[in-house]
Amino acid sequence: MRVVIDTNVLVSGIINPHGAPGRVLDAVLARAVLMLHDDRILDAYRQILRRPVFSFAQSHIDALLDFIETSGEHVSARDIGIVVPDPTDLPFLEVAILGGADALITGSLRDFKPRTGRYKMNVCPPHEFVKKLPGT
């Protein structure tokens, strides 16, 4: 399966490895799913994970992002003519659509309801996605 993971799921998966976001992250680390990304998404991960409020070790952040970048698939995304409530969420949707993702996994479904334009993409919360993982 090919997925795009919103930053809120990535952070939640690190903080609570036993919850649904943690299971999504486990699937990525086990290479059971292929994570799609572009430079904008990797930069968003980097910025969020470095926030002092999380107190994540820099070496852990670097190791995770290196893994995501090397084991995932880089997608060259472009404007898809859709406007979402928060423009910083648009790269996740663009990469998901143009990369042929099976799902865009987010904890904030409302952030991906288009204000203009339409798209066909399975935007789902982590708990729904883990039901689709092999062995669940």
pLDDT band at 5 (very low <50, low <70, confident <90, very high): very high
Q: Where are the domains of the chain?
A: 2-130
Tokens of 15: 């903080």
Q: What is the mean pLDDT of residues 114-118?
A: 75
**CATH number belonging to the domain at 2-130, selected among 3.40.50.720, 3.30.2320.50, 3.40.50.1010, 3.50.50.60:** 3.40.50.1010
pLDDT for 74: 98
Q: CA 126, 136, 18: angle at the middle one, nearest 5?
A: 50
**Strands annotated E in the chain:** 2-5, 34-37, 73-74, 103-105, 123-124
Which pTM value belongs to this model? Answer: 0.93
Lowest mean pLDDT among 31-40, 59-68, 116-125: 116-125
Q: How far apart are CA 41 and CA 104, in angstroms?
A: 13
pLDDT per position as a tens digit, 57-98: 999 999 999 999 999 999 998 888 888 888 999 999 999 999
Please say if the pLDDT value at position 118 is more than 80.
no
pLDDT for 136: 62
